[in-house]
Structure 1
């Protein structure tokens, strides 16, 4: 049907009226929601400390481990232990064939006895020679005095014309010979007193004594005993095999108590010191034990490029076995002078960290610089002051400048 101009105008007016009665758009709804306070929970920025735990893998190990090889080579003729056996310190582990070593001792003993006999003979001869030298010096000294007296008398008689020049010359020659004989006798006595031959013989005796001692030690080394008490963890030989100093035959471990061994990097070792308390987790037996750092090597292991560390366990358990893998938690306690906040208050955006700080009933978005952190706390280096309040729950519903309604913490 045809509509006149009046009817068309009435329809347009009705459409406008209906449009004014429709629901508000999304932007209008968001504005209304933003103005409604968001329920949140808050906490206070305070000074405190952050305990972090550095996890390192290690293993249980004996507190002592000794690998034993003979000091001399030879055939194994007796093997007294087996794997897992408990041995006491001083107990015989294995023995080598001793025939050649016993012969060597006998030869060294004979050489020593001969050297001692030569020394006795040398001493006897030296004593006889010394006495002869003393007697010779006494005789030479007397002859010298007689020659001096004769020469003096001849000299006086020559001056009186009672003797010829030839007689004076003879007396002077006798005096010269007596002086020479006296000097030779004195030198002979000095040589006898030095006993040069005896000194050489004494040196030979000492050399033979040392050779005999070495031979006896070699014979004793053919029997290998346990230097510590513990369990036999390895047996690498059997009766009839040849053993050598380069090949360990038996290994003994002392597992009472067990210790934990680990290796720390340069960065890790700087924050660990002797006496630090640690937590030891052993997943194989689902146990957690307490421990104390007992030793830190001052030198890096160049093969591992790490510093060896030993940890004493507070409690031993029969279920613990050497070489079990453990996880070590080193607790690093910081000073109480840092500002800390709950870690859940901090959130990340575009590579930066923020918190919502309370200003009256308004939440203000604040960038913060953080430091070390644990599972529940984080150090704040900049952006907040002590005593300020921050949102710790409900911040996902906030935006900068939003109104908040602080709820009590449960």
Structure 2
């Protein structure tokens, strides 16, 4: 059935369509205005902290062994054995090498034979002394009977007694004064013995006196050389023994001037024992010296560590002037660095420091062992610290960093440095409160790359904007992204 008013229906439809278009446009314009008025800026935030702002100081240093020892042979000779190679780890006392000892062993055998011979001579001299003493005692016992003999016999006994007393006086005098007093002593002898004594002085005494002076001069020269370390103890003692032997020989010449009586025989026997004892001592000294050289032929390690250099092969000649091996000890290992005056002040009183080894990517705790009290030529002070290194993980020559945290501001408000906006009228930060950015003026107390100490109307726990703050204005609506505040 057709409508009675088709034109009217069309007009109504057109009017409805126009109304819908107008309504839609009006709603769109209202929506745009609302969004412009309530724009929300996404931001990232961090929490304000209360604490101490520190500065990280990195002092570049290097690692080195705690010990480095060059091992020298104690005697020159052919290297017969070598027991180590470069890179070997050894313990203190380990054998490094040995020098050929064939000649030394022959010298020891000869020294043992010489000592045995000297000891035999000493025993014979001691037996001769006992016999001389026994004869002297028998003579003393028979002297009272001799007093009843004829007068000339008594005079002879008196002269013998005087000669014996003179001999005893000569023996007990200081040996070193015999050279100056020999002629006077000869003149004091009985008249009948003076010609013989003078002949002795002319022939024997002057000769032995010259020998004694030469021996003493040589001893004085040896003493100076020994004091300077230019001769061995054995050479020095040989010079001492030479003087002593010459003094004894000099004393024997003086005693020989006396009458041949029992007291003189005892004195000669005692001197013989003393000479024999000197020979024993000298033989023992020579033997000990040979045995010491045999012991010195073995070259041993004075410390535990790693062999880093070997300077000879078996069969080569070695000397006391060139090290055979070099040993280093790296447990503990030493970290050394030069510091300026400011860093020196930070290190004063510290017993431990943190040390970073970049090549290993690890940080260790080191014990400070040395802090130089004076500056070097460059104006820096040396610090040394030691690290335990049982596995030899840290090698000598590695670059190290000594880490020092310096306190700049204590008990202050700490914010991330990125949160601060510096303007001509001062520094500000934006704090998020009730989903809005609130501008807060702050005073910068101390600033570092990551964190800054400030003063202002902030409280610990406040959220300051660290990302997006450059487009904010005061009281602008914000939305925190990443779900929560970032604690830098």
TM-score if structure 1 supplies the norm length? 0.56
Q: CA deviation at 1:49?
A: 7.4
Structure 1 residue 44: Cα displacement: 9.5
Question: CA-to-partner distance for each residue in 1:278-314, whole Å, 9 max, x for gaps?
Answer: 132233x4x112122152276879799854613123x
CA offset digits 1:133-173 (Å, max 9, x no partner): 44444555x479x68xx9xxxxxxxxxxxxxxxx9x99997
Q: Does the CA-based 8 Å contact 1:52-1:374 persist in structure 2? A: no
Deviates more, 1:323-332 or 1:185-194: 185-194
Q: Distance in 2 between matches of 1:190 and 1:339?
A: 102
Residue number among 344, 351, 362 corresponding to 1:275 in the alignment: 351
Q: Mapping of 1:117-196 within 5 angstroms?
A: 117-140=120-143, 142=144, 180=162, 183=165, 188=263, 192=267, 195-196=270-271
2:299 aligned residue: 224
Listed as ranges, the gaps of 5+ residues in structure 2 are 1-45, 170-262, 429-438, 466-473, 479-484
The partner residue of 1:76 within 70, 74, 79 is 79
- Taking a change above 3 Å as real, the CA distance of residues 373 and 221 of structure 1, as seen in their structure-2 partners, is farther
Residue equivalent to 1:292: 366
1:108 pairs with 2:184: no
> Alignment partner of 1:82: what SS?
coil
* 186-195 or 199-208, larger mean C-alpha shift: 186-195
Show the counterpart of 2:61. Answer: 57
The structure that is strand-richer by fraction is: 1
Equivalent in the alignment of 2:191:
none
Is 1:331 aligned to 2:334, yes or no? no
The answer as to whether partners of 1:52 and 1:373 remain within 8 angstroms in 2 is no
Where is the helix percentage greater, Structure 1 or Structure 2?
2
CA distance in 2 between partners of 1:190 and 1:266 (Å): 84
- Of 230, 237, 250, 2:325 maps to 250
Residues 247-279 of structure 1 show CA distances to partners (whole Å, capped at 9, x for unaligned) of: 222234445x45233144474556255731313
CA RMSD between the two structures: 5.6
Instruction: Tell me if 1:92 matches 2:165.
Output: no
Query: SS state of the match for residue 80, structure 2?
Result: strand
Query: Aligned pair count?
Result: 321
Cα offsets for 1:371-392 (capped at 9, x unmatched):
x9897467x9xxx9xx9979x9
| Structure 1 gaps, min length 5 | 1-40, 151-166, 349-353, 395-403
My pick for the range that moved more, 114-123 or 262-271, is 262-271
Change (3 A) 1:171 1:68: closer
TM-score (norm 2): 0.48
